[in-house]
Structure 1
């Protein structure tokens, strides 16, 4: 997973596939935001419809990513690489 991290002008980026039957609704969005808050880096969740602060449940919900969405995690800060790996792992094992 770490070898898939890209360096961009805005920080480190990693693409992930969302595999939640109901999409990223309230409960998983809250859990994702809580997990993202563990890191000091600024973290964004980017989808086809826009970008959201990954530390904000309401921002995540505003994206309304469907069940099979392709998302990009973008992190900038001291622990950006650790944050991307941790959140990607969290998203791929997230249950409804």
Structure 2
């Protein structure tokens, strides 16, 4: 679902974990990061709708964490 949301934006969207960065619109890219519970990540967007993308995707991730508690 996150990948679908990220794909709705024209901006490039990445997730960074440690020294590695992957395209947030790519399932294989995200899987390669090995993100798990408790992982610290950074969400990065660059492009014409970057502010909107970051805001919505951040809210999506936060709401998903709140639901799992």
Question: What CA deviation, in whole Å up to 9, does each residue of 1:28-80 have, x standing for no partner?
Answer: xxx11111001110000000151110001111011011201111111110000
The structure with higher relative contact order (CA 8 Å, sep 6+) is: 1
Residues matched between the structures, number: 66
Map of 1:63 onto structure 2: 33
Contiguous gaps of at least 5 residues in structure 2: none
Equivalent runs, 1:1-96 vs 2, <5 Å: 31-48=1-18, 50-94=20-64
Could you list the structure 1 runs, at least 4 aligned residues long, displaced by more than 4 angstroms after superposition: none
Structure 1, unmatched stretches of 5+, are 1-30
2:23 & 2:3 partners in 1: Cα distance?
A: 8
With structure 1 as the length reference, what TM-score do the two structures score? Answer: 0.64
Higher helix proportion (structure 1 or 2)? 2
Tell me what 1:5 maps to: none
